[in-house]
Structure 1
Amino acid sequence: MMVQKQVWHRRTRYLIVTQNAATVQLELYKEPQDPDGVTAFICCLWVNEEERKHGHAGRLLDRAEEIAAREGHKRVHLEWCSLDSPQWVLEWYLRRGYEEQEFGHNSSLLVKELNQIK
């Protein structure tokens, strides 16, 4: 697994990649991005179709959550959209401890409380 850290003016982005199998991005903001207090956002979790069902997504998500917790974030958010992902993907996130914070017409904002890692 490769982790690349990119530091920008008001945010830090982590690109986490497994070789030819899966990727995820983690955005960590210095200040909340909306009224819900979003400071850690996971996006673009993708697994190559031939590599699905091998645990890549879970390992990437675990790593992103661990980084966010170590950097002092209390929760992490992500968006699930029914136009881009099937229902089983939402159910997978829910089994991993994410809760639906709000629900739009085709999407859900999911949030997970993180254990602080030192």
Structure 2
Amino acid sequence: MAGEPQSDCLFCKIVAGEIPTTVVRKTEDTIAFRDIHPQAPTHVLVIPRVHYPNAAALAAAEPALAAELLTEAGEVAAGEGIADYRMIFNTGAGAGQTVFHAHVHVLGGEPLREGLV
């Protein structure tokens, strides 16, 4: 069920503290942590603490939380000292989503080439 933790979800396990990660920032509703396969010098994932399979499902069910995810992504970039950055949501396996828990990638720290998504 959307919103409920999923026992087979990597990010739900991170939220529960079952899997260690390098946390950059936490709020009551979100967690931001470093990607284990970074695509840029700064590559941080920002996730809601509740489970939704993708950003569209999150936005439909909890638009304020979806907005908070974007706000937190901006705060992560500011905390990392990067003014130019990219925020990416992948939705579906064909688009590159590998963990089916809503999340936004924050990438920056160097000029990003066109086409990097």
Q: TM-score, normalised by structure 2?
A: 0.38
Structure (1/2) with the larger strand percentage:
1
**Structure with more contact order per residue of length (Cα contacts < 8 Å, sep ≥ 6):** 2
Q: TM-score, normalised by structure 1?
A: 0.38
